[in-house]
Amino acid sequence: MRIRADTTGDEIRRCATGLLTQSRSRMERALASSVVERDKTVHRVRVDMKRLRALWYLVQPGLTSSVCKRLHEQTRALAGSLSGQRDYAVMLDTLASLKSGIAADEYHQIERVIERALKPAADPGRPLIMALHHLDDLQAGVMLVDWASVRRLHIEQGLKRTGLKSETLKRSALQCSDREALHRWRKWCKLWLYQLLWLVPEARWRWMQQLKPLGSALGRVHDLDVLQTLLADVSESQGVVLQQAWSRQRRKALRQVEGSSRKVYARPARVRCRMACNSWLKY
């Protein structure tokens, strides 16, 4: 799914409603499937919502602030109804990557700490049902928007704004390695990637191909940081083993971040965005 270069407001509506229809189909199929499939669907729908929020940021220069605020709030509400389930799965995966040297009974105790903190639903179907209700509201909200005000120029402005924001956050994050700075950079890095995929999904530029591993490495750092916070009260014996593994994994992820970021930002973001827009307009 991509935005055609001869775009009008109707084209944006087409892309948004198409993605929402896809999310609805995913959830309805999952509710009739296994628990494993429901867990996978939670992740897929959350990715759909990230793509949708990237679209809202992309067209934001052509919409009123009140409309943008409402669209973002409705999208966040849908994604938030699935967050406990997905966050729990991510934390278990992150813990599994650190478990070397931890006795089985202690490992299960740590799993229970995570479960108490994140409170996942016993049945992943329940969050999906709640998300479907939020989806009804979001679809209605999209149809209420007057998309006729959105033009090509607004989309070019939206992409440039996101690229420059990502570049600015990269500088501050690498200077201080602050958790919050890295997290903000990760968010805008992923938004930039999703916006590029709305416009030029067929592009094979090496710098663009590095955006995904950059976002993944930043996500790994974030997951490790969240896990450390959740496990601040584990026993001293468990904590020493986990801290050693945590430090190794975080250093490794930061090296990956630095390597990918050098390739992505080897040229200014405004130049990258101009290249992408020129390619999009030729489509």
pLDDT in tens, 124-167: 788 999 999 999 999 999 999 999 999 999 999 999 999 999 99
**Four-CA torsion 58, 61, 65, 70, nearest 10 degrees:** -20
Q: Enumerate the domain spans of the chain.
A: 9-282
Q: Please list, in sequence order, all residues whose beta carbon lies within 8 angstroms of the beta carbon of residue 1, skipping any fewer than 6 positions away.
A: 15, 18, 19, 198
pLDDT at 59: 96
Over the stretch 203-250, which tens digit does the pLDDT of each residue have?
999 999 999 999 999 999 999 999 988 887 665 556 677 888 888 999
Whole-number Cα distances in Å, 71 to 21, 44, 74, 76, 156: 16, 20, 5, 9, 20
pLDDT at 237: 55
Among the listed residues 43, 50, 17, 226, the one whose alpha carbon sits nearest the alpha carbon of residue 127: 43
- Is 48's pLDDT higher than 90? yes
Question: The dihedral of CA 209, 180, 39, 14: what is its sign?
Answer: negative
- Overall fold of domain 9-282: CHAD domain (1.40.20)
